[in-house]
Amino acid sequence: MSASINKQKTGKLALIYTLLILGALCFMIPFIWMLSSSLKELPQIFVFPPQWIPKPVRWDNYARALLKMNFPLALKNTLIITVFTVTGQLLSSACVAYGFARLRFPGRELLFMLVISTMMLPSQVTMIPVFIIFKTLGWVDTLKPLIVPSFLGANTFAIFLLRQFFLTIPKELEDAARIDGCGSLRIFFQIMMPLAKPALVTVGIFAFMGSWNDFFGPLIYLNSESLRTLAIALQTFQGQFTAEWNLLMAASVVVLLPVLMIFFILQRYFVQGIVLTGLK
């Protein structure tokens, strides 16, 4: 009897592994296909059924693609936006979150309800007036519209997340510091911020990905060629070299690479972040 149960168990396990491996293949194939296409010569791109091994391997596709999409400039613009956005979101959302979590002031609950309800508000509803504000300020076709809002708590989700985190930090720590004469600002910077590091890394990762991948913002605010971000440069590149899929894939690999690298370095925080955001 136990033998038949064992057999059943092995059978079930085999089925599970078969499904998992098949699934894993399905998820990896697009990446493999992208990489393989990026190294092919153009004639080999236009073969059906497609061949998986590039022959010859054309590493110079990458150099050509980067040159054609004016990569250094697009990278510079994207980096400026990303660095400022991440800094802005971390500073402003942590500061606001601390205020909501720890300091008592009239109307706090009501204002926090507002924070939560703006999380549900589709950005399209405010998009047009916001565009007009930036246009009136003369900021259209500058990087400012993509940067400034993040310093003003634009990411309410980050505020929510950090507030929840601050609430879990024991209040005694803070009280002790206050007795020693620490002001709120010092407590925030020297006690709360260091303790919140894991949550801050999570918020930082999401801010980075959001701004690195952002397409809509640059699309409506940036016109000049000199201000193109990587996302816009890729899209323009596609318009110019419609059929050169090897170069398009090489350029796409380069744009995806930093995201993938950050993922592998900070995987722990990704997992933690996604679980935090999903279980509220």
Partner 1 sequence: MGKKKEFSKPNKQRPGSKKEAVEGFLFISPWLIGFLIFTLGPLIASIFLSLSKWDIFADPQFVGLQNYSKMLVDPLFKKSLWNTFYYAIFSIPLGMAGGLSLALLLNQKVKGLPIFRTIFYLPSVTSGVAVALLWKWIFNPEFGIANMILNWFGLPSLQWLSSPHWAMPALIIMSLWGIGGGMLIYLAGLQGIPQQLYEAAELDGAGSWSCFINITLPMLSPTLFFQLIMGIIGSFQVFTQVYVMTQGGPANATLVYVLYLYQNAFQWWKMGYASALAWVLFAIVMVFTLIQFKLAPHWVHYDVL
Determine the distance from the C-alpha atom of residue 247 to the mean position of all C-alpha atoms in its chain, rounded to a whole number. 25
Measure the CA–CA gap between 159 and 82, rounded to whole angstroms. 19
Residues 6+ apart with CB under 8 A from 34: 249, 252, 253
28, 42, 113, 116: which one binds partner 1 (CB under 8 A): 28
In the region spanning residues 176 to 205, those forming contacts with partner 1, defined by CB under 8 A, are: 178-179, 181, 183-184, 188
Measure the CA–CA gap between 29 and 19, rounded to whole angstroms. 15
In the region spanning residues 59 to 98, those forming contacts with partner 1, defined by CB under 8 A, are: 92-93, 95-96, 98
Applying CB under 8 A, the span of 55-63, 66-74, 129-137, 194-202 interacting with partner 1 comes to: 129-137
Measure the CA–CA gap between 144 and 81, rounded to whole angstroms. 9
In the region spanning residues 237 to 266, those forming contacts with partner 1, defined by CB under 8 A, are: 238, 245, 248-249, 251-253, 255-256, 259-260, 263
Concatenating the DSSP letter of every residue in 73-91 gives HHHHHHHHHHHHHHHHHHH
Quick check: 137 binds partner 1 (CB under 8 A)? no
Minimal distance in Å, beta carbon 119 to partner 1? 10
In the region spanning residues 216 to 235, those forming contacts with partner 1, defined by CB under 8 A, are: 216, 219-220, 231, 234-235
Minimal distance in Å, beta carbon 57 to partner 1? 19
Q: What angle do CA 31, 33, 34 make, to 5 degrees?
A: 65
Applying CB under 8 A, the span of 54-62, 63-71, 148-156, 193-201 interacting with partner 1 comes to: 148-156
